[in-house]
Structures are given as structure tokens and as C-alpha cells.
Amino acid sequence: MRSTLILLSFAILFVAFIDGAVKPVHSDKDVVPHEEQMLDVDTIFRALGVPYCMRKCIDPFINSTTSLWNMKNVVNQARKVCSQHAQAITCLKKEQFCDHLKIFSKASSSVEYMCATKHVLFERMESCLNPIVDDVMSTCDKECYSRSNLTAFAQDSNIKFAATVGGNAFIVADHLGDLCTSLQCTLPCVTKRLNNKCALSGWLSLDMLMQPFDAVSVMVEQLSPPLKDLIIKKIDKRCHFAINPNQLNRIRNGDFNAFNK
């Protein structure tokens, strides 16, 4: 259950973030069709064993997050994401036997945070952010290979196997390393470049993107020591930062050396 939460956080973060980076790559538009992107997400969710009752509620939201970062009108897109997120939560509340409401709200806490807390700030930055977000995302994608790593991950035969057997969190955990390496590159890249173009917007984005990890690390801290050790052993070393509150805090404060202690 808990490892599913950790992995789902990764999935949502990557879907929201990387898929945004995928689409604005202008010249590659026709090379990677939309269907293939949706297929990637679908494979990843199936590999994680996300049940149908949950997919039914969260798919429209996941769909809307993919367009958040690449649209011309960031603020309107963000509004759509916020309303889809609220709808997903409402839908999950009705699914009495689909006990995934808490997992989803934790894993998507960055969205909640943006919608509830930081929306006004993003709105103020809208006119500055709108013209530059696409370029920043595609530059960082080229620098950090986030897109090709995500594609490679979804096309990995082990991940496909996990998807066909109805999900296996341990298989997925074993294969997160490259994605975490990419994330270690992408977060500083986006933060620095956004800050350069629109004062403070990089810090605001970083803060938002760190939220699901914070939620997960707090949960991991509260586990019994043996279970905590098991999770730390199972998750790839390159992903340890994502469940360590100390490292997360330093990263949030701009100390990007903290990814590797």
C-alpha cells in the first residue's frame, strides 16, 4: 500500500511534468503521436496495479494535467486541472470499495497545493510565464532526457510484464533509477531557468513539485523501522532523496547537491 503511494507519486509527478515537456517540442510533434503518450501513462498505471475503480476517477484529471505545462494559457489550464482534481476526489469518495482516496490525495498533493495555496501567485506571474514555459520545458527535456527516459521506462519489458500481471510495485521500484536521475537534472534545470526569466517562479514551481515527496517522506518516517528499512532497500539509491525529509528540505531550499546526500 505504502510503496504504491510512493510510486504513484512518481507517476503523477512525471505525468504532470514530463508530458508537459513532451508536447512543446515543436519539431517532434508528429514523431510521437498523442496516443503513444497516453499508452505510456496507461502502461505505467497498470504496472503499478492502479485499480479500475481508481482509474475511472483519476483518468480525466491525469489527462488534463498533461496539458498544464504546454498550453498558451497557463492560468486557464491550471483552472481546468484544479476542477478535474476536485472531481476526481469527489468521484473517489463515492467509490466506497475503492480505498484509494487517501493515496490519490497524497500523491497529488502538489496539485492540491497549487490550487489551494499558490494559485494566486501563479496568476500574478501569468503574463511573464506564458511566453517562456514551453521553451524552458523543452530545453530541460533536451538537457535531462526526461522524455526518452520516461518512454524507455514504459517500454521496458519488466514494466510491461508488471502491467500484464495486474501490477507489481516491487518490479516498478527496481526500475525507477533512471527516472530519478532524470528528475535530479530536471528539477534544478527548470528552477534555474524559470527563475532567470520570471523572478521567483522557479522557486514556486520547485516548491509545488516537491509536495508529493514531502507527503510520502512523512509517511515513510512514521513506519516501523523494519518496514522503513525494507522500503529504503527496495527503492533505487538514486531515488532515496525522494523519501528523505532532510534531503527534500535542502533541495527545496535550492541545495541541489542534496540529491545525493
CB of 225 to ligand NAG, least distance (A): 32
Using alpha carbons, select from 245, 252, 251, 242 the residue that is nearest to residue 222.
245
The residues binding ligand NAG (CB under 6 A) are 59-60, 63, 67, 144-145, 148-149, 152, 178, 181-182, 185
C-beta closer to ligand NAG: residue 57 or 220:
57
C-beta closer to ligand NAG: residue 67 or 158:
67
CB atoms inside a 10 Å sphere around CB 1? 9
Non-local (6+) Cβ contacts of 134 within 8 A are 24, 70
- Residue 111, CA distances (Å) to 27, 94, 107 in order: 29, 21, 9
CB of 66 to ligand NAG, least distance (A): 8
CB of 69 to ligand NAG, least distance (A): 13
C-beta closer to ligand NAG: residue 63 or 158:
63
What nine digits make up the cell of 198?
520570471
CB of 10 to ligand NAG, least distance (A): 15
C-beta closer to ligand NAG: residue 185 or 206:
185
CB of 158 to ligand NAG, least distance (A): 14
What nine digits make up the cell of 171?
518490479
C-beta closer to ligand NAG: residue 185 or 258:
185
C-beta closer to ligand NAG: residue 68 or 220:
68
C-beta closer to ligand NAG: residue 114 or 150:
150
What nine digits make up the cell of 241?
532523496
Non-local (6+) Cβ contacts of 151 within 8 A are 32, 40
Question: CA-CA distance, 125 to 119, in Å (whole number)?
Answer: 10
Gyration radius (Cα) of the chain, Å: 17
What nine digits make up the cell of 156?
521496458
What nine digits make up the cell of 229?
528499512
CB of 22 to ligand NAG, least distance (A): 13
Q: Which residue is nearest to ligand NAG (CB)?
A: 148
CB of 46 to ligand NAG, least distance (A): 15
- List the beta strands (DSSP E) in the chain: none
Non-local (6+) Cβ contacts of 107 within 8 A are 5, 8, 9, 11, 12, 212, 215, 216
- Cα 43-58-189 angle, rounded to 5 deg: 70
